[in-house]
Structure formats: C-alpha cells, structure tokens
Structure 1
C-alpha cells in the first residue's frame, strides 16, 4: 500500500470544500464511495456487530435458563470486562509491532472459531455455564486484539479530511448493533431457539473475515526506532506528554464515570414513572437511539475544525442532558433528554476518535487505541458503580442530577486548566 498521507502539510486539508458540504444534513458517505477497502471493512463490521449483539442477548438468556440466577447473568459482563481491560493495552502494543491486517485477520478468525464452538455446543445439547463464560471471555480477548488494529487502519485507508465522516459511520455501526442485534436475537431465540441465533452470528463473521482478507498489508510506520519492539509503557509515556490527546480520555471519563445513570434505570422506571421492565427497556434504548440519530444526521460534522472545543461542548451537553433527565418525571420528556445525551455522545466520540487518528504518529496509533478500549470498557462500569453507590447513600435523583452537574463542572475545570485543547485545529493537528 502507498505510504500514509495523513502527515502532509496542513495546506492539504485547507482546500476548499465542494458546495454540498455546506448544506449536508445526513451522514457523509464519501469514505464509503472513495475507498473500496474501507467500504468492505465498514460493511463487514456492521454485519458482525449485529451478529455479536444477537449472541450477547442469546448467551444472557441461555445462562438464565440454565441457572435461574440474575447474578449468574451479571457475571457475563465481568467475564468480558477483565479481558478487555487487560488485553486492550496489550493488543494496542501488538498492533504497533506486526502487520495490522494479519492481526485483524487472526483475531477475527479467533472470534469466528469461537462462534462455531458456541454453535456446535448448542447443537450437541451441551448446557454448561462455565463453557459460556469461557467463550465470552475469549471473545473479549479477540475483540481487544482486533479493535486497535482495525481502528489504526482507518487513517491509512482515508485522507484526514474524511476521518470525521468515517468515525460518524463507525458510530452508526456500533449503535445499530446495540439496537438491532438484541432485537433480532430475541426474535430468533423466541422462534427457533439458541441454535439459530448462534448460527446466524457465525455466518455474519464471514463478512468481517472477508473484509480483513481483502485489505492490503499494513505494517506500522516505524522509521524512527526501527526494529524496536512496541511497548505499552512507551505508549503511556507518549500520552502523558500530549495534553490534547490526554484530554480526549479525561473528558470521556467525566461523562462515563460521573454521569452514567444506566445502572439506575430499573429503579428509576418504577419510582419515577410507575413503569415496569418495558419502561426500563425504553430508558436503555433511548441513548442508543439518540446516538444512532446523531450518526445519521452527522453531515455537518465535517465542517467543524475546532475539534477540541466540539468535544468540550458535546461532553458538557451530555452532562447537562443527564442532569435535566434527573429532574423530569414525565417519561417521554425523560426519554427525549436521554436521546439528546446519546446524540451528544456520538459527536464527542467522532471528534475524539478523529483526534486519536490524525494527531498520533502511525507507530503509536495501536497503543493509543488500546488505551481507548480500556477507557470505553472500564469507564461505564465505574459509572454504574458510582451511580449505584450514591443512589443507595442518598437517592436516585441526587445521583443522576448530581452526576450530570459534576460532569459539567469537571469538564469546565479541565477546559480552564488546559486551555489549548479548545483551540485544537483539525487543519494542524497537535497532540
């Protein structure tokens, strides 16, 4: 593949935009049209995310059918969280050492093999919770190895000016999987059983495998320090000395740790809205739906150049929307503010990912994406714990309103301490 062009002078990104960008409302599909490799990768990921969403629900249902224990179902999340955190950093270091295409193909093959094992065990009538836990944990390991390699490839496949559009499309992939996957999984399990759900998941992985197989070789650009093995500690040291990149993680932690009320939705559904499990489902789905709509109507994001300021405003908007959600006692109004929070999260994610792709040298991209996985996997879990603890000590309203307010305050303090982040310009990306 030709050498990456992401580090050309800023004049490359200052070319005038065609008129269509000034009036664009819906998602910019330019990355899908301009790069066949990216198009295959995006399609394969979208299909496989839906399949994984189906399997995640099916495994939860099967564990509950076997054990009748909600605690046993909760352990599924623990089985996936630990490998994601532990192997996320390691996977990033590996992605900065080997051919990223081969790493992506190897890890995707591992996920495909595990899907086949799950399918075969179900057809054989094996009902073993330990086996299900082990498969979930190993799938998390494969994802932790695959995600940094896959994310690091995007900046090699597309020019810098298309990265915001590509990240908006990626957000649609994950939110579509989170919404459509469980819905289809529930229908398929209800109609045809676990065998059918696991079989469909295995089939969907072939799309991701094909996309990886068709990619060109993608060795990391390691001109400086060639032959030196990539180190996780080197990646953390690099991040420690780069305030703009560090802020992308700190702002996300403000949102996910301080203002993440998901764990309180079952309680809120009953106490605030007099609802039931269906109400809880609506509360869970609202942020995801807002995030999806944020991706669908993301055409305007390509015109934004002050990415740091956009992140600050988006994370602040998330916190404000969560705080207002905690004040309302009307269900549809509450769902509206949760959807607005999800939309703000998409905007934040698009620009944070773009900064990680554009302002990071290619030889460090894998490790920074590994840190991203750890933050994304660990932040919401810490947020669940914090929200639940505060709600037990005080009340759900204090936990939700206080968390949203704390998020706004924390982001404001970070913006005051590192003022240069708000001036980060996509035309001259500085880490």
Structure 2
C-alpha cells in the first residue's frame, strides 16, 4: 500500500479512476442492452465494439505521442471533458421518442478515441509520481480499483438499465465524469522531459520501432490481443441473461457483467505471491491460457450460476496476466518512451476485447451463444500456446537478468 501512503497525486489519480470507471462500466452494460432492445441482433451488439476499433487505434497512438511531449495532466482533463459530453449525447438520444441506432455507433467510436487519448497520459503520470520498486504494488492497486468499479458498475448497471432504462444509466455516467474532474484538477502539473520531441508522425513511429525491437514487449502485446480476441464474449451477456436469467434477467445481466471483475479483485487481493515470480513472460502465457479455459468451460455449464463461476475464474486469470504484463512494461521502459509505449499497451489490451466482441457476436449469429463461448475459449488456449512457442525470448524473460530491467534499475538509482 506504499504508493497510496506516499503519493498524494497517486491517491487523486486512483480516486478519479475509480469514479470514472464506476460510471463507465454502467454505460458499458447500457449500450449493448439498448442495442439489443432496438435491434434484437447479437451481430449488431458485437458491431458496436468493432466500430470503436479505428478511433481507439488512432487515439491510442496519438495519445501516446502527445503524452511524451505535453502536460499529461491537461491531456487527461480535456479528454475527460470530451467523454462527459459523449455520455450526455447518449442520454439525450435515449430520451428521444425513437432513439437512433447510429448514435450508439458514432458516440461509441468517439468515446473509444477519447479514452485512448487519455489512457497513455494517466499511466505515464503514475510512472513519474512513483518509485520504480512501487510499480508492481501500484499495478495491483490499480487492478483492485478497476475491478471494484468493474463489479459494482456492471452489477448495478444491469439492474438500473433493465429497471429504469438507458437514459438513467447514461445520466449517472455524466455525473461520474464531473466528480472525476474535481479530483483531476488537483493533480500536480506533470511536464514532459526537457528534451522531449514534439508530437509528430516521426516520434510516433520511433515509439513503434522501439517496441518492435523488444521481443519481451511484443510478446505481452500479441498474447493479450490473441487471448482477448478469441475469448472475449461480453456481447453475449444480454442474450445469456435473457435465456437463462428467467424472471431475474436484470440480476443475471449484472452478474455476468461483473463476473470478470469479481475474479480480478480476488486475484488482486491474493496477488502478493506475484512479487516472488521473476519469469513474467511465462506467467503471462500460463495465465492467458487459463483465461481461455475458463471461458471454454462456461460454454458447457447447465445454469447461469455455474456460467458466472467460470467467468469469475477467467477474470482472475486475466488479472494475473495483467499484473505480469504491467511489471514488464513499468520496470523496463525508459521514461522518454513511456507515453508512446503506454499508447501501444492500451491498444494491445483494448483492441482484442473490441474485435473479440465482434467475433463473439458473429459466432453466436452462426451457431448460438454456447458455440461462441466454447469455440472462442478453445481458440484462445491454442493461440496463446502457439505464440508462446514462437516467442522464446518472451517466454524466457527474467526480471533479475533482463538487460532493460537492469538498466532501468540503475538509471533510477543514479537519479535518486
């Protein structure tokens, strides 16, 4: 808990993140539910995530570039204002006599871009306000915070959207952004390094080239993207809740949406053992494969409770994978590349879920929800194991001896 005790700015960022995520997770339940109510099509629900892909890629890469060259706090504040406006548009649309489907697509794409611009700056700020040896603890704390929002938000979101309608859900999200802004404006200014290159296509490509030269980093990106693409199935939740929830559809939807977060919190709270693991690449491979196993087994469970239990297990495995990925990123990447690499990291753990929900919707359209879950989970396990075999340097990564980790420790010690 030392990051919370020792850093005021980390506490403010953590509080802002928790409030924002609480409202955003409510909206993440409301949008697919509203799309289901308007179209009754799992394919259309999945396409909501697919259309967010390009804005997310552009926003993540550009957000990383400007995070290395501008005041990261201002980037976060401006992005938050834009996200608040996007949720306000969703609320207005939901209040109309005939809500428009195209608004869900357009505003979803806008929000994805703004989130991707914001994310690299937030992670880069945290990297600056904490000590290097606090990064593992900070990532675990962020995981707990993110998943508290990921439990409470979806659980309440399912009840709220079914009971009171999407407009109420979006209104709560607007309020959460306003509260978050009150915390963000109190964070100290975080200026870029004095020798930072101005944001440009050249600086962006320089960050991409740096990542491409690092097999350990590429392994974290590729394994997570494969795992999420094949096994992410949130687009199926409204249909699973309707089919297996019976008279308690709203509670079933909340449980399904919160299951991954519950597993992540349990994993985070018991993650002390990860500090004693040094083969982080192998840890990512094993835990990503277990995520796929959890989703695949959910496909053969006979009732909603056992499906949720499998998804809780999968969420825990995904959290452990995230902790190990975060350790590799935060202990080996130089500060001058931190913003641009944070943008690539955001792409790696956002692109997979977005495209994965599209895959889930398409496979459900072709063969049903259980087929989509089972086949996706098995493809995840296979894809992760193949990548592990093809990336021996990533598989062999050891934080005690890796040249980049050793160099960063020496650099931080020299500064202190």
TM-score, normalization: structure 2? 0.79
SS across alignment from 1:231? helix
Find the partner of 2:316 among 343, 348, 357: 343
Determine whether 1:242 maps to 2:175: no
Find the partner of 2:177 among 195, 201, 205: 205
Q: Residues of 1 paired with 2:237 and 2:73: CA distance?
A: 40
Contact residue 222 and residue 363 of structure 1 kept, 8 A? no
Partner in structure 1 of residue 13 of structure 2: 41
SS across alignment from 1:424? coil
Determine whether 1:417 maps to 2:390: yes
1:372-383 to 2 correspondences below 5 Å: 372-383=345-356
Partner in structure 2 of residue 184 of structure 1: 156
Deviations 1:205-234 (A, max 9, x none): 2343233322233233364x7568463222
Partner in structure 2 of residue 96 of structure 1: 68
Contact residue 100 and residue 153 of structure 1 kept, 8 A? yes
Shift of 1:180: 1.9
Determine whether 1:286 maps to 2:264: no
SS across alignment from 1:219? coil
Q: Residues of 2 paired with 1:94 and 1:380: CA distance?
A: 25
Q: Residues of 2 paired with 1:175 and 1:421: CA distance?
A: 27
Change (3 A) 1:430 1:411: farther
Partner in structure 2 of residue 217 of structure 1: 189
Change (3 A) 1:207 1:327: same
Change (3 A) 1:333 1:250: same
Change (3 A) 1:254 1:91: same
Shift of 1:263: 4.7
Shift of 1:35: 0.9
Determine whether 1:109 maps to 2:47: no
Determine whether 1:32 maps to 2:4: yes
Contact residue 58 and residue 185 of structure 1 kept, 8 A? yes
Q: Residues of 2 paired with 1:123 and 1:105: CA distance?
A: 26
Partner in structure 1 of residue 142 of structure 2: 170
Change (3 A) 1:68 1:367: same
Shift of 1:314: 1.0
Shift of 1:256: 1.2
Q: Residues of 1 paired with 2:242 and 2:165: CA distance?
A: 31
Q: Residues of 2 paired with 1:62 and 1:406: CA distance?
A: 29
Q: Mean Cα displacement is larger for which, 371-380 or 395-404?
A: 395-404
Partner in structure 2 of residue 253 of structure 1: 225
User: Which blocks of at least 5 consecutive residues in structure 1 are unaligned?
Assistant: 1-28
Change (3 A) 1:93 1:283: same
Contact residue 323 and residue 405 of structure 1 kept, 8 A? yes
Contact residue 46 and residue 361 of structure 2 kept, 8 A? no
**Bigger radius of gyration, 1 or 2?**
1
TM-score, normalization: structure 1? 0.77
Contact residue 197 and residue 203 of structure 2 kept, 8 A? no
Change (3 A) 1:186 1:251: closer
Q: Which has the higher helix share?
A: 2
Deviations 1:151-193 (A, max 9, x none): 1111111112221222222223333333322443455567777
Q: Residues of 2 paired with 1:375 and 1:80: CA distance?
A: 14
Determine whether 1:371 maps to 2:344: yes
Deviations 1:14-55 (A, max 9, x none): xxxxxxxxxxxxxxx222112111011001110111122334
Shift of 1:384: 3.6
RMSD of aligned residue pairs (Cα, Å): 3.7
Shift of 1:131: 5.4
The count of residues paired between Structure 1 and Structure 2 equals 399
Q: Mean Cα displacement is larger for which, 355-364 or 391-400?
A: 391-400
Shift of 1:352: 1.0
Contact residue 355 and residue 429 of structure 1 kept, 8 A? no
Shift of 1:379: 1.1
SS across alignment from 1:305? coil
User: Which blocks of at least 5 consecutive residues in structure 2 are unaligned?
Assistant: 405-416
Q: Residues of 1 paired with 2:44 and 2:363: CA distance?
A: 24
Find the partner of 1:138 among 110, 134, 138: 110
Q: Residues of 1 paired with 2:34 and 2:383: CA distance?
A: 41
Determine whether 1:51 maps to 2:23: yes
Partner in structure 2 of residue 87 of structure 1: 59
Q: Residues of 1 paired with 2:361 and 2:4: CA distance?
A: 42
Q: Mean Cα displacement is larger for which, 104-113 or 182-191?
A: 182-191
Find the partner of 1:158 among 112, 123, 130: 130
Contact residue 321 and residue 404 of structure 1 kept, 8 A? yes
Contact residue 251 and residue 411 of structure 1 kept, 8 A? yes
Q: Residues of 2 paired with 1:279 and 1:84: CA distance?
A: 30
